[in-house]
Amino acid sequence: MGKEFTYTARRKLSIEVVNNALGLFRNPSSWPDWNTGAKGMLATNSESLDEGDHIAVHQIIKGGLIEIRWLVNSLREGDGFCEIELLGQGQSRNERPIGSGLKELKICITFLSEEDGGIEIHSSCEASRMMSIFSGRINAFMKKQTEQMLDDMSTIN
């Protein structure tokens, strides 16, 4: 059994910003427009994001193509509320697997479009005991990934 790492970020936003962010998040073809990390995007359905869909986000980092694959594990909706859980399905750099030391990578995004609502993003992963010696870097990765996504969604108009 490894060590679990988590990070949660939330931001109070107007109802309009939350609704716009949710609309763009649920439309994979729009991701490169608002997500600073996504240079390209592949999805099961390019116009909607539904439970069971697979998505792949493409980034260019230090001249190499990074592909991060996700599964939309669950999607719960209610009146003024939407929660989407993404499960990491692996990463590759120039078509070679990377990041295998991080297991059970999850991102849970909650959109609350009501007075005093906003967006909350909770990231978690598990690392092997051996990888736990890099806990500082893992914590920094979790924080950066979560904060960047929240920053991107908060600036949607």
**pLDDT score of 109:** 97
131: containing domain: 3-154
The span from the CA of 78 to the CA of 133, in Å, is 41
Q: Which CATH number characterizes residue 26's domain?
A: 3.30.530.20
H/E stretch holding 22 reads helix 15-25
Q: How many domains does the chain have?
A: 1
Q: How buried is 109 (Cβ within 10 angstroms: 0-12 exposed, 13-18 middle, 19+ buried)?
A: buried
| Per-residue model confidence as pLDDT tens for the chain (157 residues) | 578 999 999 999 999 999 999 999 999 989 888 988 888 888 898 889 999 999 998 888 777 788 889 999 999 999 999 999 999 988 878 777 776 667 788 999 999 999 999 999 999 999 887 777 888 888 998 899 899 999 999 998 7
